[in-house]
Structure 1
């Protein structure tokens, strides 16, 4: 079943649990044809398997983040085919940051290693988190660089998050589990590593970020799939140029030729970012207060908590909160004047601190 149909079902029923309590006619009303509806109805017979998965999740402190959860990343929610449910583990506070996804070749050169480490550390120092797929090579170097300077990192898996893959990245895996980052997967725990899962995973890697940085990649590399998904999602694509004689740089050089932003320092990335991202990073860096809510009144706290680190439509804020539109308008105005939030075009708002 496509992600769009899953989203349609979720919107119709309101929760994953309610979907499995539905009838065939209700499934058809949600957009499924009879064959699909009948198959889903019969799938209820596998609910015992789902209950065992839930028991495993509770026992191993794995988070379940549904698409209507306030912690579900807004940037991911905005892509055409977001997963309706994510499994996570680590410190959920890492989900609140802005991310650059850093990807590249599994068999990278010393040049790829050095430039990945430098750019990731520089990105962390200006306030970004680093997102990648924890594969060998560039992915693992990106995670390590972020962790080395106390930065946030998200690892997106193509298997269940209870499985460390590849095994040689156990040190990164353990660091993330114990709160130094966060792990995400749309695949249930114990799902093995299948090659066909990785293209699905790649859309999440690009979807979580404001832009994708490719530091080194050969032509035909799986990394370019992530870049293509980023382009489909209207994300900024950044690429590091390399030696024209190096096979490991042919992919990045081709991306630049096709319009990706050439990156020689993070200044090249910063110049291409949306205004609200730049302003948000600047405000976060300047503001060191641990609990901004202490400076707000009751309505301001409600509206502030209803917003995200990504742009949120005013209509969505109104639907979330049980206070009047007038009170919401006043809170949005005062929060903007206090520089806690910023108003963006198309009546959207975003947290600044």
Structure 2
């Protein structure tokens, strides 16, 4: 992944710290080659984009404390900042109505391109709800799905823990604070475990504390990064229903687990089912419901990697008809026995970021099988 130079990071941080309504800042990033060019365009261009007086003031004179703090946070090699216009910005998230102008990432940004299921629900689930969240996340992570949730107590924490229980299981946490802090604080160790193997992401700059308004906004990112959202338990006024609504509005699948009619935490799920969400009882039903949407992600990755959009099925022992030499190199590095990422890097000479994206395309096209972080040619 390209490393942003300090100047470009400063410009992008300035746009993030301008705050206020999203659409004007999104227009600025889309109208100019990069954030630095948008800042150089000056107040007239900012006004034309719809920026409020307060936003224009902050674009001209950003908060020096937050700016310095953000740049210091970005100095860590595990920390990244992706602009909406960055080619590594996750394609699915870019498709929602109001994507974040930028994403702060603690961990591996390539994890945000992996096929994912959001698992969300009550902060105070029943014992059965906790078990279901953990079990579904474990099963889905074992099948190769990334599990996305919000690092909150209850269902969120159980979903993350279930994914981490799987050898090389993948999980991503989307939070409503700057990434230099954890909310709730008792999940600091869980934050660290997720960032070490997956990613923790936020649209809020380091130093930003939790705010009540941040959580509903955070939920649209959870839904936007995922091909589908599974609601385990949710009361009638649960934030999980906001995530489900965002998923439906983005054209993603929504799944709900039914519960007892005497359980008030199940009423939100029953409401979703009445509104058209898929009733599921087994993890395999979630996987089956996401097959078609997974091809959307494959298409976005082909575009990003400049791979052809159509491939003929290869004959046995022959490389698939990808014309890019890197695909040919990767195919030769793969074996019939599962091979870990470290070995593939050594055999192919490609980077982990390149391999992650290319393997996902080949997996979705049925050329490669993946299990527990190891890959092989599909028979």
Task: Note whether the superposition's TM-score is higher than 0.5.
Answer: yes
Select which of 106, 121, 146 maps to 1:129: 146
Query: Is the contact between residue 156 and residue 205 of structure 1 (CA under 8 Å) also seen in structure 2?
Result: yes
1:243 aligns with 2:276: no
Q: TM-score, normalised by structure 2?
A: 0.73
1:107 aligns with 2:124: yes
Select which of 170, 179, 182 maps to 1:152: 170
Select which of 82, 90, 108 maps to 2:99: 82
Q: Secondary structure at the match of 1:212?
A: strand
Q: Secondary structure at the match of 1:312?
A: helix
Over 3 Å counting, the alpha-carbon distance change for 1:8 and 1:121 in structure 2 is same
Over 3 Å counting, the alpha-carbon distance change for 1:230 and 1:333 in structure 2 is closer
Query: Is the contact between residue 112 and residue 225 of structure 2 (CA under 8 Å) also seen in structure 1?
Result: no
Select which of 16, 23, 29 maps to 1:4: 23
Q: Secondary structure at the match of 2:231?
A: strand
Q: Secondary structure at the match of 2:61?
A: helix
Q: How far apart are residue 213 of structure 1 and its match?
A: 0.2
Structure 2 Cα separation of the partners of residues 336 and 83 of structure 1: 38
Q: How far apart are residue 220 of structure 1 and its match?
A: 0.8
Structure 2 Cα separation of the partners of residues 162 and 217 of structure 1: 29
1:230 aligns with 2:240: no
Over 3 Å counting, the alpha-carbon distance change for 1:47 and 1:18 in structure 2 is farther
Matching residue of 1:300: none
Select which of 34, 44, 47 maps to 1:15: 34
Matching residue of 1:169: 187
Query: Is the contact between residue 105 and residue 221 of structure 1 (CA under 8 Å) also seen in structure 2?
Result: yes
Q: Secondary structure at the match of 1:201?
A: helix
For residues 202-281 of structure 1, the aligned pairs below 5 Å read: 202-275=219-292, 277=294
Over 3 Å counting, the alpha-carbon distance change for 1:40 and 1:144 in structure 2 is same
Q: How far apart are residue 271 of structure 1 and its match?
A: 2.7
Structure 1 Cα separation of the partners of residues 193 and 229 of structure 2: 23
Count of residue correspondences:
302
Query: Is the contact between residue 301 and residue 361 of structure 2 (CA under 8 Å) also seen in structure 1?
Result: no
1:312 aligns with 2:328: no
Structure 2 Cα separation of the partners of residues 17 and 60 of structure 1: 22
Q: Secondary structure at the match of 2:232?
A: strand
Matching residue of 2:350: none
Q: Secondary structure at the match of 1:351?
A: helix
Moved more, 201-210 or 111-120: 111-120
Q: TM-score, normalised by structure 1?
A: 0.78
Structure 2 Cα separation of the partners of residues 240 and 339 of structure 1: 41
Q: Secondary structure at the match of 1:162?
A: coil
Moved more, 49-58 or 197-206: 49-58
Structure 1 Cα separation of the partners of residues 36 and 276 of structure 2: 44
Post-superposition Cα deviations, 1:105-140, rounded to whole Å, max 9, x if no partner, equal 000111101111111111112110000000000000
Structure 2 Cα separation of the partners of residues 2 and 20 of structure 1: 17
Post-superposition Cα deviations, 1:43-70, rounded to whole Å, max 9, x if no partner, equal 3122634541343223344210111223
Matching residue of 2:218: 201
Q: How far apart are residue 148 of structure 1 and its match?
A: 0.7
1:46 aligns with 2:62: yes
Matching residue of 1:26: 45
Q: How far apart are residue 260 of structure 1 and its match?
A: 0.6
Matching residue of 2:12: none
1:351 aligns with 2:364: no
Q: Secondary structure at the match of 1:225?
A: helix
Over 3 Å counting, the alpha-carbon distance change for 1:67 and 1:245 in structure 2 is same
1:55 aligns with 2:88: no
Q: Secondary structure at the match of 1:252?
A: helix
Over 3 Å counting, the alpha-carbon distance change for 1:32 and 1:111 in structure 2 is same
Q: Secondary structure at the match of 1:352?
A: helix
Q: Secondary structure at the match of 1:46?
A: coil
Over 3 Å counting, the alpha-carbon distance change for 1:26 and 1:231 in structure 2 is same
Query: Is the contact between residue 340 and residue 351 of structure 1 (CA under 8 Å) also seen in structure 2?
Result: no
